[in-house]
Chain A
Amino acid sequence: MIAADKEIKAGNIVSLNGAMFTLRDASAKKLAKMLENGENTGLELEDSAVFFAAPTPGFEAGRMSIGPTTSSRMAVFIPTLIKHGVRYFIGKGALPKDAVDAIVAGKAAYFQAFGGTGANYGSKVKSMELLLFPEFGPEAVYKVETSDFPIVISVDPNGGIFF
C-alpha cells in the first residue's frame, strides 16, 4: 500500500511512501497472461501500486538506480491489472484513452514519475525484494519500499487528467 502526502488530484506534485511492484514489457506480459488464466501469482495485488520500471543492480551497495519507463507500452495490460486489484500505476508519459478510461472506471490512478532521474529515485528505495520472473533480469518483478518518492498525479480517480 502506498500513501501520498497531498491530495490525489491531477496536476499535484506529491511524495509517495510505501510499496510498489516493478513491472515492464516482458514481466507485464507474462503476469497479465497468468492473471487471465487464473493462475496464482503469489503477489498481493489488492490496492497495490505498480511501477513501470527496471532497476540497475547495486541495491546492497547503496548504489541502485531506478526510474520510470514509458507507460504506453504496458497500457494494454492495465485493465487486467485493475481487475485483479492494482490501484495505482506509476510510469512515464501519456496513456492512450482506453487505458485512461479503465483507470477512471476502476477508481484507480496514474502517476508520472520523472524520467531519467534514476539516481534520485534509487535513493528513495528503502528495501527491495525479488518476487517473480528472475529469468527476465532487470525486468523481473521486485517489491520496492519507497519513502519520499516524488511524482505528479496524471489521472486521478475522479477523472481529472494532467499530461
Chain B
Amino acid sequence: MRIIEGLRIKDAVKELFIKLNYSPDSLKDVVFAEPAMEPFEYQLAEIIDENCRKAKTEMRPLCQDCGVAQVFVKMGKNVTFSDAPSLEILINKGVEEAYVEGLLRKSTVTDPFERKNEGKNLPAFIHYELCDGDTFEIYAVAKGGGSENVSAQKMLVPAVGREGVAEFVFETLKNAGGKGCPPYFVGVGVGGTFDSVATLAKKALLEQVCEDDELLEMINGKVKDLSFGVLGFPGKCPVKKVFVKKAPTHIAMMPAAVALNCHSFRTGKVEL
C-alpha cells in the first residue's frame, strides 16, 4: 500500500489553485489575437493577451471571478493517505489556503437562498474516481459564474445523431452570446445519464481531448454561423477550441451537455 502524506495533498491543491488563477498550464501556449481577425476584434483579443501577461508578471488574478473550486480526484486502489480522516478535509483546506493566502476572490456562498459568503470559497466541489494501481492524480478547475451560467444540458433523442448534438452545441453558444466571455473553450459531453453527462462535458475541458472527430467537424462547421466574436462583439472568432467526450448510454437516450468556459481557461493537473 502506498501512503501519501496528507499535507502534501493539501499543499498540492493549494498550489494548483493559485497557479490556475495566475498562469495556468491550460493557457500556456494560447494566443488570442489571430492575424485573420478584423482590426476591431484583433484589438479586443490583444487586450485579452495583455491580461494574461499582466496576470503572470504582476501576480494579479486573471479574472476577478476566481471561480468555484472544482476538484476531480483519480485514486488507485493501492493508495491511501495520512494526516486526515478524509480526502475532503485535505482538499478543502488546500482550497481555503489558496483563496485566502493567494489573494483570490471568494465567490462561493453556503446556501443558494441565504447566500452567505463565509470568505473561504468552500466547499470545493469534488468528484472521485477509483482506478487500479497506485495512481494519485488531482485535476482542478477554477471556473467563473459567467460561463457556468450559460452552460447547458439536454436530453436529446437518439434519432438526432451527431447533427442534433452539433445543433444543440450551436444553440447553446448562440444563447450564450457575449455573456460568458468568449472566445469560448467548449466541453461537449454525449451519452451517460442525466446527471453524469454534465460531468463528462467538464471532463472534456479538463482532459482537453476529442473522442469524436466527426462531431467535432460538424460543430466547427456550425460555429462559423454564429453572429458574434471575441467578447461577444461583432467578429468571427467566438470559439477558441472544442473538446468532446463520449460515454455509453441507454437505448432510448441521447444525453448531451455543453460546458462553456470563458477565455480565462483555468484548468490543471498534478500527480503525486
Please give the residue numbers on chain A whose beta carbons come within 8 Å of chain B beta carbons, in ascending order. 13, 26, 53-58, 61-67, 69-70, 92-94, 114-120, 122-123, 136-138, 150, 152, 163
Q: Distance in Å from the Cβ of B15 to the closest Cβ of chain A?
A: 17
Q: Which residue of A lies closest to B150 (CB)?
A: A70
Report the separation of the CA atoms of residues A57 and B21 in the bound assembly, to the nearest whole angstrom: 13
Given the complex, which residues of A lie within 8 Å of B48, measured CB to CB? 114, 116-117
Contact: A123 with B54, CB < 8 Å?
Answer: yes
Given the complex, which residues of B lie within 8 Å of A123, measured CB to CB? 54, 58, 60
Contact: B103 with A117, CB < 8 Å?
Answer: no
Contact: B64 with A115, CB < 8 Å?
Answer: no
Contact: B47 with A114, CB < 8 Å?
Answer: yes
Given the complex, which residues of A lie within 8 Å of B231, measured CB to CB? 114-115
B149-193 vs A, CB cutoff 8 Å, 1 = contact: the mask equals 000000000000000000000000000011101000000000000
Report the separation of the CA atoms of residues A56 and B106 in the bound assembly, to the nearest whole angstrom: 8
- A63, A65, A116, A163: the one contacting B262 at CB < 8 Å is A116
Contact: A115 with B47, CB < 8 Å?
Answer: no
Report the separation of the CA atoms of residues A55 and B60 in the bound assembly, to the nearest whole angstrom: 11
Contact: A119 with B60, CB < 8 Å?
Answer: yes
Contact: B63 with A55, CB < 8 Å?
Answer: no
Q: Distance in Å from the Cβ of A61 to the closest Cβ of chain B?
A: 7
Contact: A116 with B264, CB < 8 Å?
Answer: yes
Interface flag for B69 (CB, 8 Å): no
- A54, A62, A94, A118: the one contacting B61 at CB < 8 Å is A118
Interface flag for B83 (CB, 8 Å): no
Interface flag for B258 (CB, 8 Å): no
Q: Distance in Å from the Cβ of A6 to the closest Cβ of chain B?
A: 13
Report the separation of the CA atoms of residues A137 and B115 in the bound assembly, to the nearest whole angstrom: 12
- A26, A54, A94, A150: the one contacting B64 at CB < 8 Å is A54
User: Interface range on chain B: under 10, 10 to 19, 20 to 34, or 35 or more?
Assistant: 35 or more
Report the separation of the CA atoms of residues A64 and B115 in the bound assembly, to the nearest whole angstrom: 24
B90-121 vs A, CB cutoff 8 Å, 1 = contact: the mask equals 00000000000001111100000001010100
- A13, A54, A61, A62: the one contacting B105 at CB < 8 Å is A54
Q: Distance in Å from the Cβ of A87 to the closest Cβ of chain B?
A: 23
Given the complex, which residues of A lie within 8 Å of B63, measured CB to CB? 65, 67, 116-119
Main secondary structure of the interface of B (DSSP, over half): loop
B29-62 vs A, CB cutoff 8 Å, 1 = contact: the mask equals 0000000000010011001101110110011111
Contact: A118 with B60, CB < 8 Å?
Answer: yes
Report the separation of the CA atoms of residues A103 and B173 in the bound assembly, to the nearest whole angstrom: 29
Contact: A116 with B58, CB < 8 Å?
Answer: no
Contact: A116 with B144, CB < 8 Å?
Answer: yes
- A13, A63, A65, A92: the one contacting B62 at CB < 8 Å is A65
22 cross-chain CB contacts under 8 A: A13-B43, A26-B115, A56-B60, A56-B103, A56-B104, A57-B104, A58-B103, A62-B58, A65-B62, A67-B63, A69-B65, A94-B178, A115-B181, A115-B232, A116-B62, A116-B63, A116-B181, A116-B262, A120-B51, A120-B54, A122-B64, A136-B117
Known: A69-B146, A70-B146, A115-B231. A122 touches B60 (CB 8 A): yes
Given the complex, which residues of B lie within 8 Å of A152, measured CB to CB? 233
Known: A66-B64, A122-B60. A117 touches B179 (CB 8 A): no
Interface flag for B9 (CB, 8 Å): no
Given the complex, which residues of B lie within 8 Å of A118, measured CB to CB? 51, 60-65
Given the complex, which residues of A lie within 8 Å of B66, measured CB to CB? 56
